Amino acid sequence: MAFRYEVRLSGSGGQGLILVGKVLAEAAAIYDGLNATQSQSYGPEARGGASRSEVIISDGDIDYPKAENIDILLALTQEACDKYIGDLKEGGVLIVDSQMVTKIPEGNFQVVAVPIIQSAVERLGKFLVSNIIALGIIIKLSGIVSEDSVKHAIRSRVPKGTEEINIKAFYTGIDLAQNWLDQHGPLKH
């Protein structure tokens, strides 16, 4: 039976979550030969400063474009976390920026809290790459798409001249996730 993996990336406008959605979907569809759809918030919420992007990855057909049983929810703001936590499936993974999301909702899911934005600023001197750090964390924790494919997709989606810093950010995310796994043990799948 075909698998269906749903990722929701949420936060506020300007955090680059739409780009992460595109990269993840293209990594899966173009470079890993999987099926993928990507959607993004279009409604008034997007115009009010919130941002949401969803990626569904499958090795079969994707007959419904909307994510409703989320495997991984990334929340870079408290508001996004509170708003979307209800769609996270039982046993799913909630990844949050530990500084931006301080009130973790209760529920039957696994929580990965990592200082994403702070790491972007402190390790790479650039707030703008926090989205790619988050992508690295997602890839390391989910293993849904290969690291090589994501690297290709990143290179194909960022402006010329910024490829290397974005790849560094990606590996920073992988490092952060690995550290988290070292401290907390593997996630339950």
Q: Binding residues for other proteins, per CB under 8 A?
A: 12-16, 18-19, 22, 25-26, 29-30, 35-40, 42-45, 47-50, 61-66, 77-79, 82, 99-100, 117, 127-128, 155-163
Give least dist CB 105 to other proteins, A: 14
Smaller CB separation from other proteins, 104 or 128: 128
Give least dist CB 169 to other proteins, A: 14
Crossing angle between the packed helical segments 163-184 and 147-155, to the nearest 10 degrees: 150
Smaller CB separation from other proteins, 3 or 64: 64
Give least dist CB 161 to other proteins, A: 4
Give least dist CB 10 to other proteins, A: 11
Q: Residues near 105 by Cβ (< 8 Å), separated by ≥ 6? A: 81, 82, 85
Smaller CB separation from other proteins, 156 or 178: 156
Nearest CA among 8, 4, 25 for reference residue 149? 25
Rounded distance, CA 100 to CA 74, Å? 12
